[in-house]
Amino acid sequence: MSSPTATARAAGAPAAAPARRSGPSARAARPGRRRSSLAGLWFVLPFAALFAVFLVWPVLAGLWASFTDRSLASPGAEFVGLANWREMLGDSAVWQSLWTTLVFTAISTPPLVAIALAMALLTNRAAAGLGWFLRLSYFAPFLLPVAVVALIWEWMYQPGFGMVNGLLTAAGLAEVAWLTDENTVLAAIAVTTVWWTVGFNFLLYLAALQGIPAYVYEAAALDGAGAWQRFLRITLPLLRRTTGLIVLLQIVASLKLFDQAYIMTNGSGGPGYAARPAIGYIFEAGFTGLRIGYASAISYLLFAVIAVVSLVQFRLFSRKGETA
């Protein structure tokens, strides 16, 4: 059974061997000559211990805390049943912050996918001498710490001497109070986020594009397919799996919005809390309001949203994502 794998390895494609994707069945297919031993247990122990202490335990403790009035200010805690959950359902700030998160996800994801694809297509077509310049320019912002990104963009959004408004006035348009207007603050943060993180998606798309063999296009060109046809009929379908992965990673990342929104509004949540995402509200309830129990309940609401979105997407894309 090991010989096909060895061939794949010799062909230089360790990551592409399809048999490996189905973990349990591949394992079952191997002859079970390996003796069960405790050695593996020792190897897995350090990670398992950290996993238990810093992941499993907080997950369970948070669930328990959500049924108590536990506070950061006092040691004791009393069981309050569903009080936190009931309060949460009636707390408009919870729903506003969740709505803000969803709006941010909805406005940031499409450009983060489309611009990344455009960048990858342009780089893939570019003459060899230009490629490195495009790769560096598109990817560089991704390397910046969030605080640096936030500093640069806060500065660019400044009225009067900021670059964005400078360009607007140069074009004869009116200035916009980007970060201090309820209607623009979330969009301004979304633009910053797109600029900052699109490079990673670009890299994934570029790697996928370079994996498409040229003969596929040559064959299509012989059949008389134009550039647009080739893009629609070949490139897009072959990129479907990559697109699925990018969309999934992107939506989950956007649902966890906090850092840039917090820094760019100086922790205020923005005018009218228009830029306070779900994690922003959890942070406030827990660390400013000191209510661990209540913050935990909201955490679980967000956790549930993220888990449901991931699972739905995973099913959607694993069903039709067999190509490429």
Write out the binding residues for another protein, residues 51-90 only, by CB under 8 A. Answer: 51, 53-59, 61-62, 65, 70, 72
- Angle formed by the axes of helices 185-210 and 92-125, to 10°? 40
Q: Is 269 a binder of another protein (CB under 8 A)?
A: no
H/E segment holding residue 316:
helix 292-320
Q: Is 25 a binder of another protein (CB under 8 A)?
A: no
Shortest Cβ distance from residue 270 to another protein (Å)?
A: 16
Q: Is 144 a binder of another protein (CB under 8 A)?
A: yes
Which of 2, 25, 74, 323: binder of another protein (CB under 8 A)?
A: 2
Long-range contacts of 282-288 (CB under 8 A, 24+ apart): 283/258, 286/72, 287/72
Shortest Cβ distance from residue 138 to another protein (Å)?
A: 6
Which of 181, 234, 252, 313: binder of another protein (CB under 8 A)?
A: 252
Long-range contacts of 74-81 (CB under 8 A, 24+ apart): 77/293, 80/293
Q: Which residue(s) pair with 313 in the sheet?
A: none
Window contacting another protein (CB under 8 A); options: 82-90, 103-111, 178-186, 200-208: 200-208
Q: Is 313 a binder of another protein (CB under 8 A)?
A: no
Residue 38 CA to residue 236 CA, distance in Å, equals 48
Window contacting another protein (CB under 8 A); options: 79-87, 102-110, 229-237, 291-299: 291-299
3-state secondary structure 235-284: HHHHCHHHHHHHHHHHHHHHHCCCHHHHHHCCCCCCHHHCCCCHHHHHHH
Report the residue number, 185 or 297, with the smaller CB distance to another protein: 297
Q: Is 261 a binder of another protein (CB under 8 A)?
A: no
Neighbours of 142 (CB within 10 A): 16
Which of 83, 225, 234, 245: binder of another protein (CB under 8 A)?
A: 245
Residue 269 CA to residue 185 CA, distance in Å, equals 10
Which of 79, 99, 132, 231: binder of another protein (CB under 8 A)?
A: 132
Report the residue number, 273 or 293, with the smaller CB distance to another protein: 293
Window contacting another protein (CB under 8 A); options: 85-93, 106-114, 177-185, 295-303: 295-303
Which of 79, 287, 288, 320: binder of another protein (CB under 8 A)?
A: 287
> Using an 8 Å Cβ cutoff, are 33 and 1 in contact?
no
Window contacting another protein (CB under 8 A); options: 104-112, 176-184, 268-276, 299-307: 299-307
Which of 69, 91, 181, 259: binder of another protein (CB under 8 A)?
A: 259
Report the residue number, 103 or 249, with the smaller CB distance to another protein: 249
Report the residue number, 36 or 92, with the smaller CB distance to another protein: 36
Q: Is 282 a binder of another protein (CB under 8 A)?
A: yes
Give the angle subtended at the CA of 229 by the CAs of 226 and 235, to the nearest 5°.
115
Report the residue number, 4 or 272, with the smaller CB distance to another protein: 4
Q: Which residue(s) pair with 291 in the sheet?
A: 71
Closest CA to 86 of 272, 298, 277: 298
Q: Is 195 a binder of another protein (CB under 8 A)?
A: yes
Shortest Cβ distance from residue 268 to another protein (Å)?
A: 13
Q: Is 221 a binder of another protein (CB under 8 A)?
A: no
Q: Is 163 a binder of another protein (CB under 8 A)?
A: yes
SS3 231: helix
Residue 136 CA to residue 159 CA, distance in Å, equals 30
C-alpha pair distances (Å), 268 with each of 151, 183, 215, 275, 284:
16, 16, 55, 9, 10
